[in-house]
Amino acid sequence: MASTVLTDFSHTAERLTDRINEALAAAVEPGAGCPATLAEAIRYSLLAPGKRLRPILVLLAAEACGSHVEDAMPGACAVEMVHAYSLVHDDLPAMDDDDLRRGRPTCHRAFDEATAILAGDALLTLAFETLATRLPDPAIAAECVQILARAAGAAGMVGGQADDLDAARAETLREQFERGETEACLATLESIHRRKTGAMFCASLELGAAVARASSEQTEALLQYGTNLGLAFQIVDDLLDVAGDEAATGKRLGKDSERGKLTYPSLLGIEESRRRAELLIADACAAIQPFGPAAALLESLARFVQRRDR
């Protein structure tokens, strides 16, 4: 059963990933005015092999609400651009200081720090340009810019990353942990992840819904799916950092414990973390039942997230 689900999803994901990668490559064709090295760094970061989970969410949400994949492609490209920019900036020495990403040197390692900062800036800017230029209906375009900006900004992804880096907060968290206040720790962790990862998962689904002019009930259901999926994704990410395979994930593992960072496995243990992820995935799938068969692929995607090894 599980393997059938994974196979089903793998086929769809492969088909969609090819189309997404084509659209992304077309969006960053080196053009007039962009310096060659910067263009190279942008392509290096955006076109690196990746799961393309967020753009797939955009496309599947749009399809579930009755729209065509092609109509949602600008939204799909935009979320992947924002995701790629966030990885480039998060990997910088002043932030997470990572050397390896998606199996290759991080952008500031392959190029240099200044180029990485600028490539990230350019990708973030390009995301909004893509929405405004490529979505033909200006009302939808403006709505999509709002959705993406709110999710990516200070109260969303950027805020989550700031909290995640906040040494004072890490100290509080550790003290709570040492006093055995597990629930308080979990609440803090969740509030970080809801913004750092969850906001962009939800935005992806909301973008798909906006392009398809979904009803507010449909959008609400997709957001509930996204919130649960995002948190499950993060727990699995933490689990992979403890027990994953560097070759499969393409990044250096064991970083969290090295940095003394509190994670789901360090708070709850591996088994309980797995159980929580399972429950969240079940909740995610329950939220989209009203869509019926139209949401079958979103359901497969959730199962894939639960079982992923990278």
Q: Which residues bind a second copy (CB under 8 A)?
A: 31-35, 37-39, 42, 85, 89, 92, 94-95, 112-115, 117-118, 120-122, 124-126, 128-129, 131-133, 135, 138-139, 141-143, 145-146, 149-150, 152-156, 158-159, 161-163, 165-166, 195
Virtual CA dihedral for 60, 64, 65, 71, nearest 10 degrees? 40
Give CB contacts under 8 A, 24+ apart, made by 37-42: 37/111, 37/115, 38/115, 38/118, 38/119, 38/122, 40/111, 41/107, 41/110, 41/111, 41/115, 41/116, 41/118, 41/119, 42/119, 42/122, 42/123, 42/126
If you ran DSSP here, which 8-state letter would residue 295 be given? G
We find the least distance from the C-beta atom of residue 84 to a second copy, in angstroms, to be 13
Which of 22, 166 has the CB closer to a second copy?
166
CB atoms within 10 A of CB 25: 12
Which of 143, 241 has the CB closer to a second copy?
143
Which of 12, 204 has the CB closer to a second copy?
204
In angstroms and rounded to an integer, the radius of gyration of the C-alpha atoms of the chain is: 19
Which of 115, 249 has the CB closer to a second copy?
115
We find the least distance from the C-beta atom of residue 64 to a second copy, in angstroms, to be 25
We find the least distance from the C-beta atom of residue 165 to a second copy, in angstroms, to be 5
We find the least distance from the C-beta atom of residue 32 to a second copy, in angstroms, to be 7
We find the least distance from the C-beta atom of residue 41 to a second copy, in angstroms, to be 9
Which of 90, 299 has the CB closer to a second copy?
90
For residues 310 and 53, is the Cβ–Cβ distance under 8 A? Answer: no
